Structure 1
Amino acid sequence: MPSPVDVPYRSFIKIDRTSNIPIYLQIANEFIKAIQRNILLVNSKLPGTRVLGQLLCTHRNTVVAAYDELAAQGWVVIQPNRGAFVSASLPTTGRNTVDRHSYPTHTGFYFQQSSLLDNPYEHGNYQYILNDGTPDIRLTQIDDLSRIYSSTIKRRGNRRKMDYYNQEGSEYFKEQLLVYLHLSRGLYVSGTNVLITRSTEMSLFIISEILLKPNDTVVVGALSYFSANMIFQKNAARIRTIPIDSEGIDTDALALLCEQIPIRMVYVSPQHHYPTTATLSEKRRIALLALAEKHGFAIVEDDQDYDFHYNKQPMLPIATADRKGMVIYVSSFGKSLVPGFRTGFIVAPENLMFEMRKHLGIIDRQGDVLMEQALGEMIEEGVIHRHLKKSLKIYKERRDHMGGILQAEFSSHLYTKAPTGGLAFWLQFKRPTNLLRLSKSCAQKGLFLPKTMLYQNKDVTGIRLGFGNLDSKELSQSLALLKSCLDNLD
C-alpha cells in the first residue's frame, strides 16, 4: 500500500468552516465517501492524527474525534500502536449512497473504432505452445546481458545521457550497428541512412504514415505477414496479392499488375518469405528492382530472419543492389536475445530518413538510450557474434530433429521441406483439413495452436510451425500430440 502521506487527502476532504455541521463530522463524512468510491481501499492505512491535522489545518483532537466516529460506524479499525486502517468488513447501511463504480464505462462523445486493429494474438495456459517461429529465451546469455547493462547504468559518462535523448538514437549504438550491417549484410551506409525504432512493426507503421494515403495500392504475397497487412490497411491502403511459389513472389504476375493499376508499394520478405519460408531467387530480385525503377513504386524489404541460416551463406539483401533509392530496408537487431534487448531499424535514402525522424520524434521521443548503449557494447565486444554462433548450432539441431519427425510420422498428412534458415517450417496438407477443428482438438489435449499460424482458403491449407522455442523433448511431445489429433480428424 502507498504511504498515507502520498494520498492527496486535501483534494477529497473539503471542510466548510461556515457550516453548522461539526468539522470532525465533515471529515468523517468525506472519508466515508472516499471509501465508497474506492479512493481509499480496504486495509489502507490512514495518516496519523497529527499529520492529517497539519494537512487539513485543523487541531489534532478534531481528527481524533473524526477517527473515533469512523470506528464507531465500522468504517475504520483502530489498532493500538499501529494506527487506523480502512475496515475489511465495511458497514452495509448507507454503503451504496455513492456508486462504488462511478467511473464512466463509456465516453460521452463519438470516436472511430477499428475492428481491423483487434489484437490477433492469442494466449492460453497450455502444457505445450507452438508458435510461428520465435527464439528460445532460455538460450540467452543472461550473465553477459546483465553484466553489460549493469555497467552501462553505472558508468559515469552515461548518467549524463539519461536526462536527454537524441530522438535519432544512440550515436554509439548506431556506429556499431553500421559496422555490423556492413560486415554481416553488405550494407555500406552512413548514420544518416539509419533510423532506430522499437520493433519491425513500429518501422512499418512509420513508413506507412509517410508513404501511404487512402486508396494507394500495396502489393503483398498471396500469403503474407498479418501484422504488416493490418498496418497498411490502417492507412486505408488497398491490398493486392500476387502468387508465391518456391522462389518467392511471382514477379511476372507483378509486372502484369503494374500495367493495369498504379502501385505505391511492394512489401516482401525475400530472405525467408513469411509464412512459407521461401527465398526470393536472384532472378526475381533483379526483376523486382527493375519493375520498381520502371513504375516508381517503393520496395519495403522486411528481413526479419536474416541472422538465422544453417546450410550456406544467405543472399545479400535487395537493398545492397539498389542504386536508384527504391528500397526501404526493415529489420531487427538482437532477435536471438530476450525481448527487452531487441530493437528495430530502418535503412533508407537520406531524404526519406529526414521525414521519418520527424515521425519518430512524435511517437517515441525518449527511446531507450541505456539499452542501445548496451547493445552497442555487445557488438563491439563480440558478445552478439558468440551468442548467435552458439544458438545457431542449437537451432539447427532442433530444425533437423523436427524435420526428421515430420518426415517419419507426418508424410501421409503433410508436404514439407526443411527451411534453409529462420525458425519455422511451412507445412501444407495433402488433403482437406479443417484447421480450426484441429486447433480445438489440440487445445483439449494441452497443445496450443494459435490462429495466427493457420492459413486456410480455397487454394491453401497450411501451418507455419515454429521450432525455435522448444527443445528436442518438447518438440517430440508436441508433435506427438499434433499427430494424434490429426489422425482422429481422419
Structure 2
Amino acid sequence: MIPYKTIIKIDRASKQPVYIQLTNQFIDLIKKRTLPPRTKLPGSRTLADLIGLHRKTVIACYEELTLQGWIESIPKKGTFVHKDIPVLQQQEWIEKTVSKKDDKAGFSFNKKSLLTRKFPQDHLDDYMYVNDGVSDERLAPVKELSIIYRKIANKKHTLKYMNYGTTYGNLELRETLACYLSETRGLNITKDNILITRGSQMGMFLASQLLVENQDYIIVGETNYSSADTTFEYAHAKLLRVKVDEHGLDTHDIEKLCKNYAVKAVYTTPHHHHPTTVTLCAKRRMHLLNLAKTYHFAILEDDYDYDFHYNHAPILPLSSHDTCGNVIYIGSICKTVAPVFRVGYLVAPKAFVDECAKLRRFVDRQGDAILELTFSSFIKDGSLDRHIKKVVKIYKDRRDLFCNLLKEELSDYLSFEIPKGGMALWVTLNKKYSWDTVTEIAKEHKLIISEWQRYDVTNCKHNAIRMGFSCYNETEAKEFVRRFKKTMQDIDLQESFSY
C-alpha cells in the first residue's frame, strides 16, 4: 500500500489550485516508478479521506491525469496507472539532489563562435561604461508616447490591430514614414518601398540573407561597425576591406576591387562612419553611386544617426540621389527616441521589399501594431521633430563639454577630432599605452571598457576606440573623466615602479 497520506503534501498558501498540486505530485510518482504501470489507484472517496481533501478535488485530479494520458479508467475494475508509460531515461547524478536543471543540452546543435560577444549583460549602478554612443533614456518622451499609446489602445476600431497583420508593418506608419522621409531626407518613395522592422539590425539581417549566397563578396571599411561584419559573415559572405580616411570610404579602392571580384554589396555608414565618425564626402558619394550602377551591386546604407548633426545641416542620404534602384536604406526611430522602442525601417525597390517581407514572416511574424500606430501619430503631429530639436541641443552641449574635459584632463593620454555630429568620439590612445592595460586598471575604478578589440579587426594598430558622450550629463561626464584620469595615473605609477 502506497503511503499517500505521508508522501502527498498540499500547500494551502500556494496560488496554484489544489487539484493541480495533486496532479503534479501523481505525475512525479509515476515518473519515478513509485507508482509503476498498471498500479491501481485508490477510489476518489478513499483518497479524499486519506489526504483530507474534498472528493471533487480528487475527481478533478483524476480527470486531468486521464486527459494527459497518465492514468486510465477500466469499467468495473477501477482506475490504474496507464500500462504503456515508458521508463524516463535520466542521467545518473553523483549528488542525490539537484537544485536546477543541468546547463548542458541533451542534444547537439551548432555553436557559432562569430556570434560570441563579451559585452556586460548587467549594468551595475555604481559602474560607468564606455559605449558606442547611445541616446539618454532619461530624455525619452515617455509621457507623450504613453498618452498617444493609451488613446489609440482604448479606441474600439483598434481591436482589429490586435490580430495578425501584415509582415510589411502597419500601413499607416509606412504611409507616414514615406512622407516624413521624403520631406526630411529627400527620398522619392511610397509606402510600397518601406518595410517596418524591429530596428536597423533586423533590416541589415534581412537584407544580408537575401543578398548573399555562399561566399559572395561584400565590401566594408577597414574600420567598420562590428555587428555589420558579424551579420554578413553569418550570411556566409566574404568581406573585402577598403581604407577609411577623413573623407570616409575610399571609393577608388572600391573600384579596384570591383574590377577583380564579383561584388554583391557595399556596406556604408556615410553620414558618420562607424566607428570613426567621419562623413563620406560628396565626390565619393557620387562615385559610389556610379560604381553601383556600373557593377550592379547593392549599397547597404545604414543611416543610424542621421538626426544628430551639430555643425551644419544634415547631409542627404545616398538613397536620395539613387536613380537606378541600387540603394537599400536602413534606419530606426529607436536610436532617436530610446532603444526600448523597437521601430525601424528598410527602404528599397518594391521587389526587394516584397522579398524581405516574405522572409520576415519566418523571423518575426510582425511588429507591435499599436506601437507602430503610436509612432505614426507621434511623427504626424510634429512631436518627433520637436523631440529631435530638443535632444540635438542637449547632445551638442554634452559633446562640447566632454571634448573640453578630455582636452583639459587627458590630453597627455588621448587625442581626437571633434565630431560634426553623432553621439560618440573616435579617441586614439597614446602609443605608449595599451587598451589591454587600460581596460584592466579601469575596472578597479569601476569603469568598464568592453571588447575594445572589435574596433581593430584588421590589426591596423590605430590604437583607437569609439567613446560615447550623449548619455552623460555634466556631473556624469566629469565623473567619467575623473575615473579615466585616475586609471591612467595608476598606469603611470605602476610603470615608474617597474624601472
The two structures have a TM-score, normalised by structure 2, of 0.81
Contact residue 226 and residue 454 of structure 2 kept, 8 A: no
Equivalent residue, structure 2, for 1:469: 471
SS in 2 for 1:340: coil
Q: String of CA shifts for 1:441-481, please: whole Å, max 9, x gaps.
A: 11111112222586353431002000111101100110121
Offset of residue 164 of structure 1: 3.0
Equivalent residue, structure 1, for 2:409: 409
Contact residue 212 and residue 264 of structure 1 kept, 8 A: yes
Counterpart check, 1:115 vs 2:113 = yes
Equivalent residue, structure 1, for 2:183: 183
Contact residue 329 and residue 346 of structure 2 kept, 8 A: yes
My pick for the range that moved more, 374-383 or 126-135, is: 126-135
Residue 236 of structure 2 aligns with an amino acid whose one-letter code is A
Counterparts of 1:47 and 1:134, CA distance in 2: 60
Contact residue 271 and residue 280 of structure 1 kept, 8 A: yes
1:106-255 mapped onto 2 (5 Å cutoff): 106-123=104-121, 124-125=123-124, 126-255=126-255
Counterpart check, 1:279 vs 2:249 = no
Offset of residue 120 of structure 1: 4.1
Q: String of CA shifts for 1:290-337, please: whole Å, max 9, x gaps.
A: 111111211100000001111111110001111111111111124232
Contact residue 197 and residue 203 of structure 1 kept, 8 A: yes
Offset of residue 136 of structure 1: 0.4
Equivalent residue, structure 2, for 1:74: none
SS in 2 for 1:465: strand
Contact residue 328 and residue 347 of structure 1 kept, 8 A: yes
Equivalent residue, structure 2, for 1:343: 343
Offset of residue 50 of structure 1: 4.5
Q: String of CA shifts for 1:106-135, please: whole Å, max 9, x gaps.
A: 445432211111234224424322311000
Offset of residue 359 of structure 1: 0.5
Counterparts of 1:458 and 1:258, CA distance in 2: 23
Equivalent residue, structure 2, for 1:389: 389
Identify which of 39, 44, 61 aligns with 1:56: 61
Counterparts of 1:445 and 1:410, CA distance in 2: 16
Equivalent residue, structure 2, for 1:76: none
Residue 481 of structure 2 aligns with an amino acid whose one-letter code is L
Offset of residue 47 of structure 1: 11
Residue 121 of structure 1 aligns with an amino acid whose one-letter code is F
The two structures have a TM-score, normalised by structure 1, of 0.82
Equivalent residue, structure 2, for 1:488: 490
SS in 1 for 2:479: helix
Counterparts of 1:377 and 1:244, CA distance in 2: 40
Contact residue 169 and residue 366 of structure 2 kept, 8 A: no
Residue 474 of structure 2 aligns with an amino acid whose one-letter code is S
Counterparts of 1:343 and 1:6, CA distance in 2: 44
My pick for the range that moved more, 161-170 or 10-19, is: 10-19
Offset of residue 189 of structure 1: 0.3
Q: Where does the alignment leave 5 or more consecutive residues of structure 2 unmatched?
A: 1-13, 64-93, 493-499
SS in 2 for 1:336: coil
Counterparts of 2:56 and 2:433, CA distance in 1: 70
1:257-268 mapped onto 2 (5 Å cutoff): 257-268=257-268
Equivalent residue, structure 1, for 2:330: 330
Offset of residue 339 of structure 1: 2.5
Offset of residue 489 of structure 1: 2.5
Counterparts of 2:258 and 2:395, CA distance in 1: 40
Counterparts of 1:484 and 1:159, CA distance in 2: 57
Counterparts of 1:190 and 1:7, CA distance in 2: 55
- Structure-2 change in CA distance of 1:283 and 1:404 (3 Å): same
Equivalent residue, structure 1, for 2:17: 4
My pick for the range that moved more, 299-308 or 250-259, is: 250-259
Residue 476 of structure 1 aligns with an amino acid whose one-letter code is K
- Structure-2 change in CA distance of 1:27 and 1:403 (3 Å): farther
Counterpart check, 1:441 vs 2:441 = yes
My pick for the range that moved more, 370-379 or 356-365, is: 356-365
Contact residue 4 and residue 47 of structure 1 kept, 8 A: no
Residue 203 of structure 1 aligns with an amino acid whose one-letter code is G
Contact residue 242 and residue 249 of structure 1 kept, 8 A: yes
Counterparts of 2:153 and 2:18, CA distance in 1: 31
- Structure-2 change in CA distance of 1:98 and 1:406 (3 Å): closer
SS in 2 for 1:300: strand
Contact residue 452 and residue 465 of structure 2 kept, 8 A: no
Residue 109 of structure 2 aligns with an amino acid whose one-letter code is F
Counterparts of 1:55 and 1:468, CA distance in 2: 59
Contact residue 415 and residue 430 of structure 2 kept, 8 A: yes
Contact residue 251 and residue 287 of structure 2 kept, 8 A: yes
Counterparts of 2:208 and 2:454, CA distance in 1: 26
Q: String of CA shifts for 1:139-160, please: whole Å, max 9, x gaps.
A: 1122111111111111111122
Q: String of CA shifts for 1:389-426, please: whole Å, max 9, x gaps.
A: 11111111100101111222222222211111110011
Offset of residue 99 of structure 1: 6.0
Percent identity at matched positions?
A: 33
Counterparts of 2:99 and 2:175, CA distance in 1: 53
Contact residue 218 and residue 265 of structure 1 kept, 8 A: yes
SS in 1 for 2:489: helix
SS in 1 for 2:319: helix
Residue 470 of structure 1 aligns with an amino acid whose one-letter code is Y
Counterparts of 1:119 and 1:160, CA distance in 2: 40
My pick for the range that moved more, 404-413 or 451-460, is: 451-460
Counterparts of 1:205 and 1:113, CA distance in 2: 18
Residue 474 of structure 1 aligns with an amino acid whose one-letter code is E
My pick for the range that moved more, 252-261 or 266-275, is: 252-261
Residue 54 of structure 1 aligns with an amino acid whose one-letter code is I
Residue 358 of structure 2 aligns with an amino acid whose one-letter code is K
Contact residue 221 and residue 241 of structure 1 kept, 8 A: yes
Equivalent residue, structure 2, for 1:362: 362
Counterparts of 1:423 and 1:48, CA distance in 2: 65
Contact residue 131 and residue 453 of structure 1 kept, 8 A: no
- Structure-2 change in CA distance of 1:3 and 1:10 (3 Å): closer
Offset of residue 20 of structure 1: 6.2
Q: String of CA shifts for 1:267-289, please: whole Å, max 9, x gaps.
A: 00000000000000000001111
